[in-house]
Structure 1
Amino acid sequence: MALRHPSRSNSPIRLAGKRITMRPLAASDFRAWSEVRARNADWLTVWEPRRQPTLPDPTTDRSAFTSRCVQRDRDRVNGVAYQFGLFIDQRVAGEVNLNNVVRGAMQSGTIGYWIDRHHAGQAYVAEGVGLLMQFAFEQLGLHRVEICIVPRNTNSRRVMEKLDIRDEGVALRYLEINGVWEDHIRYAMTIEEWTIRREEIAAAWL
């Protein structure tokens, strides 16, 4: 993996795995990102929080997408979230994000992801999650990351199986997904587990 940046500077972050690269999305990515999102709307929105209908849609509104990118850059500089476009052959294919970064006694964050259905099942997301875990533990110094998944979302759960991430059980009505408060399986890894498994994960994915 290649990584070049101070974690809370204005410098762009670049993460590189065996087959993918990840970097923050920029305004210039609007056309490619919106095409992927529009084409995969039915595939993705059933697993995401419902968008407020009174707000502009970044999938169709360039200015809304630009504002989204600016806010995400601000979140990165403030150290509260690190959000990446996932690129395959230099084309936008999804996102892998580290959200809800909490410092103090917790030192934790939450990973979320999505991918173009055309590329699903090829372990690109597993590679991206492995990259993001390495970044979270080795660059940000977090103690724990978690991934929360609706139990029936078998595609997302398969990513956890490929990486052999620990299952901590079900949190009832944990997040609002597509207008419904859904149970979520909570998967997690700590820095102690990462230290033990780092070489194994790096050899397989990074």
Structure 2
Amino acid sequence: MIALPFMRNNSLKLQGIKVHIREPYLSDYQAWKVLREKSRAFLTPWEPTWTPDVLEKSAFRHRIRHYQEEINKGTTYPFFIFRNSDQQLVGGITLNNIRRGVGQNGMIGYWSGVPYAGNGYMSEALALVIPFAFQHLGLHRLEAACIPNNIRSISLLEKAGFQQEGLLRSYLKINGKWQDHILLSLLESDKYNIDNKV
């Protein structure tokens, strides 16, 4: 295991060249709301159906409280992604469903705001989360699941070293319907395409 790159007031921050990632705060609400609102049409094909109150501050407050509980339990590590040049929120990446015992694995999920997709920000955020998961948390395996026609997301994961394992039938209810997903995985022993020293 490695020492955390940045720790301030029990808050985790991982620094990259173009972006840094840190846990979400309640003070991020306005930037999050604006970006999610602007990106709704871009995101909804890949996410669970948005509830009517999903962008309300009370729902965000509940989300932050839930994140803190999961961080304290060691089962989820949520991060918001910020561009270094102007501190702009560009998306989010989460390491969740962490299972210990004989498994030592977790799932990665992410989203990008529409103005920032395709600029390499998510690739760098992924390159920050992978060594955090393997070297700091001591996980053995990372998984990600993508809808088969989400070619962009599959390519991102494969570029980082994830390998396709198979089809998960009717795996998650996305955009209002049960959808198949492709399961991809990365093992600690795999050669992953990042700088392990981030």
Fold shared, TM-score > 0.5 on shorter chain: yes
Q: Is the 8 A contact 1:123 1:159 kept in 2?
A: no
Q: Which consecutive segments of 4 or more residues in structure 1 shift more than 6 A?
A: none
Q: Is the 8 A contact 2:144 2:184 kept in 1?
A: yes
SS in 1 for 2:130: helix
Give the structure 1 partner of residue 42 of structure 2.
43
Aligned partner of 1:144: which letter? R
What do the CA deviations read for 1:87-146 (whole angstroms, capped 9, x no partner)? Answer: 113111100101101111111100000111211112211111121111100110111011
Asked if 1:201 corresponds to 2:194, the answer is yes
Provide the identity percentage.
35
Asked if 1:154 corresponds to 2:156, the answer is no
Aligned partner of 1:142: which letter? L
Give the structure 2 partner of residue 88 of structure 1.
83
- Alpha-carbon distance in 1 for matches of 2:171, 2:57: 32
- Alpha-carbon distance in 2 for matches of 1:175, 1:35: 27
The Cα of 1:52 is off from its aligned counterpart by 4.2
Aligned partner of 1:110: which letter? M
- Alpha-carbon distance in 1 for matches of 2:5, 2:164: 29
Give the structure 1 partner of residue 166 of structure 2.
169
- Unmatched tracts of structure 2, length 5 or more: none
Q: Is the 8 A contact 2:20 2:83 kept in 1?
A: yes
Asked if 1:73 corresponds to 2:54, the answer is no
The Cα of 1:49 is off from its aligned counterpart by 1.1
Aligned residues: 194
SS in 2 for 1:202: coil
Superposition RMSD in Å: 2.0
The Cα of 1:64 is off from its aligned counterpart by 1.6
Which protein is richer in helix relative to its size?
1
- Alpha-carbon distance in 1 for matches of 2:50, 2:113: 19
Q: 1:144 aligns with which of 133, 138, 141?
A: 141
Give the structure 2 partner of residue 102 of structure 1.
99
SS in 1 for 2:75: coil
- Alpha-carbon distance in 2 for matches of 1:46, 1:87: 24
Aligned partner of 1:176: which letter? K
